[in-house]
Amino acid sequence: MKTNFPTPLIWKSILSSTIITAILLIIGLFRLCFLYQIVHRIKLFIPGIERYGTIYYVGLLLQLALCISIAVTIFLLLKFAGNFRLESIILSILGTLAFCNILIEGVAMNEFYSEYYLRKWNADFELSILNMGMILNLVFIGSGLWMIIKSWIVLRFNRRRNHYPINETVFEMTQYIGIACGIIGALFAYYGYLYLHHYRNRLKPDYIDWVYTCCLIFLLPYLSVIIFWILKLFVKRDRTLYDEKQKRDLSNAGLTTWLLSILILAVLIIPNLKIHSPALGVMILPFYIFITLLIFSSTVLFNFKKT
């Protein structure tokens, strides 16, 4: 089956969306150069770094706008402009990581500035996080630009292309996003536990609120795709979202996740039964949520692709 090529209104929507995304991608490139300069200046203790603070936080907001814009563009391209399956999957993974990195980068930059620049302490960990974030963003922006160029070629030459149904691609994307969120969230919960355990004697409620807010932010990309599925369910008349095999894959993954989560909880809790650490009580729920998300999405994807 071939795609029906976009109507003029949809064509305009796709074009505006890709133009906005292209502009944000170019701004993102400038932001990366700016970030590199800030890190370089902090490393060398160049004075007057404070005046760039506002621009830096505006840059983070633009990065958020870029993630949203890319998500909208992916949806429009998948729905109306043919085969962008590979680009969509790659960008959904990179976009999820880039979205979570907004928070991680903001915190790491704040710590790098206050610990290294102001207090002259060692901040190699924060610096490595900032460097990894810059590499991730560079790959994300590069992939985004590739998708935009490809979409313009498709629109310009009005090519009719074979395509995968949007259901299948979004189903696959959902699992990749679940895996990315699961890995980031589980790592965060683990490091959060170490952090809270270290400060267990002077643990403030603010820390706990902050940790739970971060967990919620790391879940947002997955939640947004789930909301997409729910909206789709309401729009569809027959109330069926998945085909038989997808339902079987989801059921098998549910059972596997349930059994493995019992095992993981046992491994986590039994050795720590005699340790009275509030950190464990705080972090066990986020860790459980993210690890089950990781197992569930990985198992669904494995079943979907391999069986």
Partner 1 sequence: MSQEELANAIGITRQSVHAIEKGKFVPSTLLAFKLARFFNTSVEELFYLLDN
Binding site for partner 1 (CB under 8 A): 1, 162-165, 167-168, 171, 243-246, 248, 304-305, 307
Q: Which is nearer to partner 1, 190 or 228 (CB)?
A: 228
Q: Which is nearer to partner 1, 63 or 303 (CB)?
A: 303
- Minimal distance, residue 166 CB to partner 1, in Å: 11
- Minimal distance, residue 237 CB to partner 1, in Å: 13
- Minimal distance, residue 240 CB to partner 1, in Å: 9
Please, which residues bridge with residue 2 across strands? 162
Q: Are 269 and 192 in contact (CB under 8 A)?
A: no
Q: Which is nearer to partner 1, 131 or 240 (CB)?
A: 240
Q: Which is nearer to partner 1, 43 or 160 (CB)?
A: 160
Q: Which is nearer to partner 1, 200 or 248 (CB)?
A: 248
Structure-block tokens of residue 34: 């700016």
Q: Are 217 and 210 in contact (CB under 8 A)?
A: no
- Minimal distance, residue 156 CB to partner 1, in Å: 25
- Minimal distance, residue 76 CB to partner 1, in Å: 20
* Whole-angstrom distance, CA of residue 269 vs CA of residue 302: 28
* Whole-angstrom distance, CA of residue 113 vs CA of residue 238: 55
- The string over 122-153, giving b where at least 16 C-beta atoms fall within 10 Å of a residue's C-beta and e elsewhere, is ebeebbebbeebbebbeebbebbbebbebbee
